[in-house]
Amino acid sequence: MIPITKPFLPPVEEYSNYLSGIWQRQWLTNMGPLASKLELKLKTHLQVKHLLFVTNGTIALQMAIKALDLKGEIITTPFSFIATTSSIVWEGCKTVFVDIDKDSLNIDATKIEASITNKTSAILATHVYGNPCDVLAIEKIAKKHNLKVIYDGAHAFGVKINGKSIFEYGDISTCSLHATKLYHSSEGGLIVTQNSELLKKLASIRNFGFKDSVSFSELGINGKNSEFHAAMGLTNLDYIDRIHEKRKLLTECYDKNLKKFRAYKPVWSKNATINFAYYPIVLESEELLLKCMDDLKRKEIFVRRYFYPSLASTLPYLNKEYFEITDDVSKRVMCLPLYYDLTLEEVEYICHTILKVQNN
């Protein structure tokens, strides 16, 4: 069987070395020494100004909306994981969808202004598959209309654009460290901001809104993470370069073998590095996609229609909307298996399988 993904697991003895310290200290959660150490190491690794390690990427989005005190309408993309939209609704704001760009699959920045009203408070855009949005265009629009910007960078760990971390753009950027991600802490998330006052507010929100041991500064939540998750994050960080190189090798193998396949890859943002988080392709037709998926499943090769269907036409708590490009692409997009333990021989087998379907 070839699954769509597998979590990277470091040597168990290296992880266990951290566990012995946890047992000795008996400090299991509430931002212990390992969680604090991971924050500092990630801050250095990513070269960002301020960073918080939190429970998960969804909590990170909810905290970002709360910290920016957003009300009214938030403009976002219908082509993303559910957490992007559900976080907006969860925080009592209204989702306003904007169609995506057919090449990048990110929110189409040229269509954002047409959706801005006097109730719009922010733009929440996703770096889909880790591919940076048009951050400069979005920044220009936000400044013109006095809007806040949050980036859902769940897939974008390690990506740089114009020479700096993608997480340095916007008022707040978030990242997921879920087990399925290229770098993970089993469960976890990151919040990044360049604003020191906003960092203080986010840190308070993460800890129930405590100002000190007996008073509160604001409404908060339990967004802290455990020492066990931090231990996994610290161990895995030592392998990030190796993980990146292996995923790059696998991606190049896919590229080489699928040159004649009737599909295209999203166009990557100019001046941005690639983290090889996913291998998405947009097939010629939904019919071809379904045939490929059926044949792959028979061979116990599992792919994912990521993201399908469009959030705008799916969610029971929102009025259904339809967007030409999102609806079309979501029917034809497919992510192929990509993970550290995947072999080049398996990639070639996957490619051979779908090419055979195409040619029959």
Residue at a domain's end among 237, 263, 290: 237
Say yes or no: 246 and 344 in one domain. Answer: yes
Query: 61 near 86, Cβ under 8 Å?
Result: no
pLDDT at position 360: 83
Are 163 and 311 found together in one domain? no
Considering the domain architecture, whether residues 252 and 324 belong to the same structural domain is answered as: yes
219 and 270 inside one domain: no
Residue-level pLDDT, tens digit, the chain, 360 residues: 999 999 999 999 999 999 999 999 999 999 999 999 999 999 999 999 999 999 999 999 999 999 999 999 999 999 999 999 999 999 999 999 999 999 999 999 999 999 999 999 999 999 999 999 999 999 999 999 999 999 999 999 999 999 999 999 999 999 999 999 999 999 999 999 999 999 999 999 999 999 888 899 999 999 999 999 999 999 999 999 999 999 999 999 999 999 999 999 999 999 999 999 999 999 999 999 999 999 999 999 999 999 999 999 999 999 999 999 999 999 999 999 999 999 999 999 999 999 999 998
Q: How many CB atoms lie within 10 A of CB 6?
A: 15
Who contacts 193 (Cβ-Cβ below 8 Å, separation ≥6)? Answer: 49, 50, 171, 172, 173, 199, 202
Q: What is the CA radius of gyration of the chain?
A: 21
| pTM of the predicted protein model | 0.97
Q: Are residues 260 and 284 in the same domain?
A: yes
> Has residue 7 been placed in a domain?
no
Cα 279 to Cα 336: distance, rounded to the nearest angstrom = 6
Domain that holds residue 325: 240-359
Give the number of residues written for the chain: 360
pLDDT at residue 163, rounded to an integer: 94
Looking at the structure, tell me whether residues 313 and 286 fall in a common domain.
Answer: yes
* CATH code at position 297: 3.90.1150.10
Same domain, 153 and 23: yes
Q: How many domains does the chain have?
A: 2
Q: Which residue among 211, 237, 263 closes a domain?
A: 237
Phi, psi of 64 (to 5 degrees): -65, -45
State how beta strands 333-336 and 279-283 pair: antiparallel
**Helix, strand, or coil (residue 322):** coil
Q: Are 340 and 6 in contact (CB under 8 A)?
A: yes
What's the CATH code of the domain at 137? 3.40.640.10
Last residue in a domain, options 237, 269, 303: 237
Residues 230 and 249 placed together within one structural domain of the fold: no
* Alpha helix positions (H), 224-281: 227-237, 240-257
E strand spans, 2-137 = 50-54, 73-76, 94-97, 120-126
Shared domain for 254 and 233, answered yes or no, is no
